[in-house]
Structure 1
Amino acid sequence: MQKKSSATIYDVAHRVGVSLATVSRVVNGNNNVRESTKRKVLDAIEELGYHPNAVARGLASKKTTTIGVVMPDVTDMYYSELARGIDDVANMYHYDVLLTNTDEDPVRETMAVNNLASKQVDGIIFMGNELEREVLNTIAGVDAPVVLAGSVDGEGKLPSVNIDYVEAIKEATTTVIKNGHDRVAIVTGPVTHAINSLHRIVGYKAGLEEMQIAFDDTLLFATHQDYSAGLQVAEKIVSAGATAVIAYDDEVAVGIMNYLRDNGKKVPEDFEIITSNDTKFTLVTRPEVTSIGQPKYDIGAVAMRMLTKLMNNEIIDDTQIKLPHTLERRGTTRN
């Protein structure tokens, strides 16, 4: 029998001679249907090619079994690894994922959250380096739980999964100082962003203080998150007299290293580099780049698991989860 191209629940009910409620119960796995009737409904669904609409089901069940993921850049290796963890756990719990790309533009982030809310998603996972006030206000108005993955909000109110960025940057800073460097630069994103001002820079200063070195603001640099930005900031780092750098992004770190090598600096003999995200960029260079190791897949997976609990109104003891980090020592540091 030829399948109808856009069969509806009404077509299935008419074919079997049952009510819409009966078809709905079968589709949603309700056992309160006679086995013979259930078999007829399932056969009709197969014959007609009926595909239940998740949003339509949600109108009755209050759930769409769909979650939204807001990403600043779907091509960024760091965020794509987080997204893989999210997607695997979402599949495990039978949730579909709607992915949006925002280019870390607050206007697009606000639009993305609003659009996902209009699609009646059951929850949202937000990724990005900063949550502007407008974005936070939009999130506050969403009638669905929101979890941050690899991101922080300045007030620490939203549920989140991260590493301890303060301790991670502190460890990286003390490592290069112990290797003999007393002028260590740090490269971050915009200092107005909470993850930089309240975490990375705080960790950097804590490392300096532990090693009894005074903070020098001429060694603090803020730049964009790409390879060309690393090339551009590298000249300023060298001019400031630094002999080591902690970079917040792997592409930036590779740009810095290539500039140094192109200008006669030996890495790590003359200059040491530690980066922060430990993506594949750190492994395809020569030398390979020492990096703070982040459990990126686990951050995404744990964030999705937390979201499933929030969507089910389960009690969660800790909504500010920090997973352990490592320091992956490679060829851009001496030890």
Structure 2
Amino acid sequence: MTVTIYDVAREAGVSMATVSRVVNNNPNVKPQTRKKVFEAIERLGYRPNAVARGLASKKTTTVGVVIPDISNAIFAEVARGIEDIANMYHYNIILCNADKKKDKEIRVINTLLEKQVDGLLFMGGAVTDEHLQAFKTANVPIVLCATTDENGSIPSVDIDHESAAFDAVQTLIKQGHRSIAMIGGTLQDPANGYSRFQGYKRALETAGITYDENMVRIGNYRYESGVEAMKYFLELAEKPSAVFSATDEMAIGAIHAIQDAGLKVPEDISVISVDNSRMASMVRPQLTTVAQPMYDIGAVSMRLLTKLMKKESVENPRVVLPHEVITRQSVGNKE
């Protein structure tokens, strides 16, 4: 049979109110009494009813997290940052995979809100009108994690994706490259897609290089799309001397396509990307990439959410974390 708070009170020889105060960490309990209650809880194997406590306090100490692709190591690193800070502040996490599909994202958001989460962290692509409508119906704080909304109306934590892409392409230009292709993400994605594309174009413009739409292919962030995009570039009459990829995974696909064609990286074609996932240092040659601090993005997002949930003062609801070019072996000089 289920052990109740009444059973614990009887075992410890105290009132149910005293047991409740002990379970809820109320300081107004004598140390000796607290010890006696905890011993009774351990003997009986009592587990407080989180649902009942949530109904009473109107708090569930639970945070919902919407993640675009749970199999992607980048998002796994963000989730780790979220989890570590959540544990520090005694919150539980409900992690939901949305497969980068808008309809599923909306459904998951509504499901989490129905479960009475105290706050919501959203990692996804474009924040559409449908997303905003779902957020407006929420009576809990929401923080965008590794993404932003167009109007900047929702608290968020991210990097400057346009600047990250600009710095990556500038790295190639400084090595003498002028024929630079891009493997991009969908332009409907404001961060990994559109912003990084804009950074690519700005870098070319700053260097006086004419933008050529034939030098851009749109992928789906996956390895296979990097392979296919690179195969397209290799069939051009004038092959690029360097490739900028919006993500590490597509960049690794490009490296393998180059190698499969009997060419070398970086001797024949240089490759650079954005992310600095663990795979970047596993591939050979190791991938030069722009590091975005994914763990920190998750950790800072969760800390910002805890402040909002506790109604603490927040100086800046839109946090932009720094990025850094990590130089490895996949970029060489253009002779």
Question: TM-score, normalization: structure 1?
Answer: 0.92
Alignment partner of 1:114: what SS?
A: helix
* Other-structure match for 1:237: 233
Larger mean Cα displacement after TM superposition, 11-20 or 170-179: 11-20
Q: How many Å separate the matches in 2 of 1:142 and 1:21?
A: 33
Name the counterpart of 1:135.
Answer: 131
Shift of 1:16: 5.0
**SS of 2:275 mapped into structure 1:** coil
Letter in 2 for 1:265: L
Q: Matches of 1:90 and 1:186 in 2, distance apart?
A: 38
Are 1:279 and 2:243 counterparts?
no
CA distance in structure 2 between the aligned counterparts of 1:232 and 1:81, rounded to whole angstroms? 27
Measured in 1, the distance between the counterparts of 2:192 and 2:277 equals 20
**Counterpart for residue 65 of structure 1:** 61
What percentage of aligned pairs have identical amino acids? 44
Helix, strand or coil: the match of 1:276?
strand
TM alignment of 1:1-335, pairs within 5 A = 5-16=1-12, 19-34=15-30, 37-196=33-192, 198-240=194-236, 241-334=239-332
Cα 1:156–1:217 change in 2 (3 A) is: farther
TM-score, L = length of structure 2: 0.92
TM-fit CA distance, 1:219: 1.9
Shift of 1:95: 1.3
Letter in 2 for 1:92: M
Q: CA RMSD in A?
A: 2.0
Structure 2 unaligned residues grouped into runs of 5+: none
How far apart are residue 287 of structure 1 and its match?
0.5
How big is the shift at 1:45? 2.1
Q: Secondary structure, in 3 states, of the residue corresponding to 1:245?
A: strand
Aligned to 2:227, the other structure's residue is in SS state helix
Deviation at 1:18, TM superposition (A): 5.2
Q: Cα offset for 1:107?
A: 2.1
Q: 1:331 to 1:34 in 2, by over 3 A?
A: closer
Q: CA contact under 8 A between 1:55 and 1:120: conserved in structure 2?
A: no
Q: Within 1, Cα distance between the matches of 2:290 and 2:327?
A: 9
Residues 16-44 of structure 1: CA deviation (Å, up to 9, x unaligned): 56554333222111123455554443333
Is the contact between residue 159 and residue 292 of structure 2 (CA under 8 Å) also seen in structure 1? Answer: yes
Matched residues in 1 for 2:81 and 2:130: separation?
A: 28
Residue type of the partner of 1:51? R
CA deviations over 1:52-111 (Å, ceiling 9, x no partner): 122321222222222121111222110111111111111111111111112112222122
Q: Deviations over 1:217-239 (max 9, x none)?
A: 22222111211111111122233
State how far apart, in whole Å, the 2-side matches of 1:34 and 1:284 are.
56
Amino acid across the alignment from 2:165: I
Please tell me whether the aligned partners of residues 55 and 119 of structure 1 are also in contact (alpha carbons under 8 angstroms): no
Q: How many pairs are equivalent?
A: 331
